[in-house]
Amino acid sequence: MKKLLIVVPGLLLSTIAFGQEFEEVKLDSIVQYFSEIKTATKRSFGLWDRDLYGNVILVDPSTRQLFSNNSGTDNSFIKYKNIYVGKLPDSVNIANTSLKWNGHTWAMVMLPLSKDYYARINLLAHELFHSVQSSLGFVQNNYESNHLDQQNGRIFLRLELEALKKAFDTDSQDKQNKHLTNALIFRRYRNSLFPGSAQIENQLELNEGIAEYTGVMISGRGKERTKKHFIDAIDSFFLNPTYVRSFAYNTTALYGYLLRLKHPFWNQNISANTDLTDFFIREFSIELPEDLASAAEGLAPDYNGNKIFAEEQVRADKIKEQIGLYYSLFVDQPHVILKFEKMNISFDPRNILPIADLGTVYPNIRGTDNWGILEVKNGALMSPNWDKITVSIPTKIEGQRVEGEGWVLQLKEPYALHRDELLNNYKLIKR
């Protein structure tokens, strides 16, 4: 274990063990990051009529080393210039998120940050919005739009985004209006195919979509950089294994940026009860045809439709096989069921896989609860109402540590795993 010696003018702090050496240049880079986002949020005060700068934690996932602009109630943090250095407890999951911890609400962002200034500010501002969104009247909802993992859901989302790219990539107002109209035709048609999907999508767009719009605006990229950012972001998004929890980063932010050209502070006229699709249709003065099916199918070839249809058919065939394997692993074969008591979860939203009424498989997920810590790197099945999680059968049990294929469970006393002699499944018990 290496040491970190921090020298503060007028004060020599003792050498502190932190697990690895952080040279002063790195600490000064962290100081710079906080200064950058503080300046950017102040400059963008008018966006929400408030300065979004607040408590921030930057954390190294490999070491759990943290850097913050507030020590909270932790007297063990070491101060360096205007930042604090400490270590995040194992009980706190690491993610780009907002969280309540150590007496405060924080925006947490994982290190390393992008070398690109605009990307850094975008991400930090996004998470800062999450840390204050309740005070702005927005509830944090992350409902899974599972229909976007079905073939037609994906097809007509991709077509919508292709139309939005073209709307953004033209200087002609008439052409922009045409592409916006077509994007909303694809959206409305998609929602008509999956009853109730409009409301589910809207919840995530009011949460992640508005946060991302905020990040884009505070980043200050300018017109040409913003155009490149959106086009690159959509092309990158198309490569994600699933869209169910990540689509809103692109849709709301892009509609919002285009609307800003007409109404700079449109975001101050919405609330947690706003239907964003209706709002954008009204604000853009869009008129949609009555026969959405004919319109959507007729327009598809203009937006790479033939290529999209072919790619999604190939994916659908592969997904059927993958779902069959997961069904066998978490239903047919012996498995472990962990019921939640007071859970805290972090995961990658880009590669999850919904499985009908059984729930959703998360390939990479970390959960903490009263019973301990679960770390999964090879798939776990989350129940639809998030009251339990299922992993494959254990391969090794040594005291309070349990291992399976691609997962590790560190149990706390007095919890233990109990095997059902009839079914060979395992469940948690208190001894």
pLDDT band at 237 (very low <50, low <70, confident <90, very high): very high
Residue bearing the bigger pLDDT, 107 or 5:
107
* 3 state SS of 167: helix
**Does the pLDDT of residue 304 top 60, yes or no?**
yes
Question: What's the pLDDT score for residue 46?
Answer: 97
Question: What's the pLDDT score for residue 15?
Answer: 30
The predicted model scores a pTM of 0.86
Q: At what angle do helices 197-204 and 276-283 cross, to 10 degrees?
A: 80
Residue bearing the bigger pLDDT, 340 or 19:
340
The residues near 382 (Cβ < 8 Å, ≥ 6 apart) are 359, 360, 361, 362, 365, 389
User: If 0-12 CB within 10 Å is exposed, 13-18 middle and 19+ buried, where does residue 236 land?
Assistant: exposed
Mean pLDDT of the 321-328 span: 93
What distance in Å separates the CA atoms of residue 131 and residue 41, rounded to the nearest whole number?
A: 14
- Whether residue 209 contacts residue 237, with contact meaning beta carbons closer than 8 Å, is answered with no
What distance in Å separates the CA atoms of residue 254 and residue 256, rounded to the nearest whole number?
A: 5
Give the gyration radius of the chain's Cα atoms: 24
The mean pLDDT value of the chain amounts to 92
In this structure, the number of other CB atoms found within 10 A of the CB of residue 211 comes to 25
Which tokens hold the place of 174?
Answer: 């008439």
Question: What's the pLDDT score for residue 19?
Answer: 40
What distance in Å separates the CA atoms of residue 150 and residue 315, rounded to the nearest whole number?
A: 10
Mean pLDDT of the 311-321 span: 95
pLDDT band at 142 (very low <50, low <70, confident <90, very high): confident
pLDDT band at 22 (very low <50, low <70, confident <90, very high): very low
Question: What's the pLDDT score for residue 428?
Answer: 95
Question: What's the pLDDT score for residue 350?
Answer: 81
The residues near 54 (Cβ < 8 Å, ≥ 6 apart) are 105, 106, 107, 128, 131, 132
The residues near 71 (Cβ < 8 Å, ≥ 6 apart) are 77, 79, 84, 86
Mean pLDDT of the 21-44 span: 86
- Whether residue 336 contacts residue 392, with contact meaning beta carbons closer than 8 Å, is answered with yes
Question: What's the pLDDT score for residue 144?
Answer: 84
Which tokens hold the place of 381?
Answer: 């099945």
**Does the pLDDT of residue 18 top 50, yes or no?**
no
Distances, alpha carbon 406 to alpha carbons 128, 345, 352, 391, in Å: 33, 17, 16, 9
Strands (E), 277-379: 335-339, 344-347, 353-355, 359-362, 365-369, 372-376
Question: What's the pLDDT score for residue 140?
Answer: 83
Question: What's the pLDDT score for residue 2?
Answer: 33
- pLDDT > 90: percent of the chain: 88
pLDDT band at 125 (very low <50, low <70, confident <90, very high): very high
pLDDT band at 137 (very low <50, low <70, confident <90, very high): very high
**What residue has token string 């058919």?**
313
Question: What's the pLDDT score for residue 348?
Answer: 84
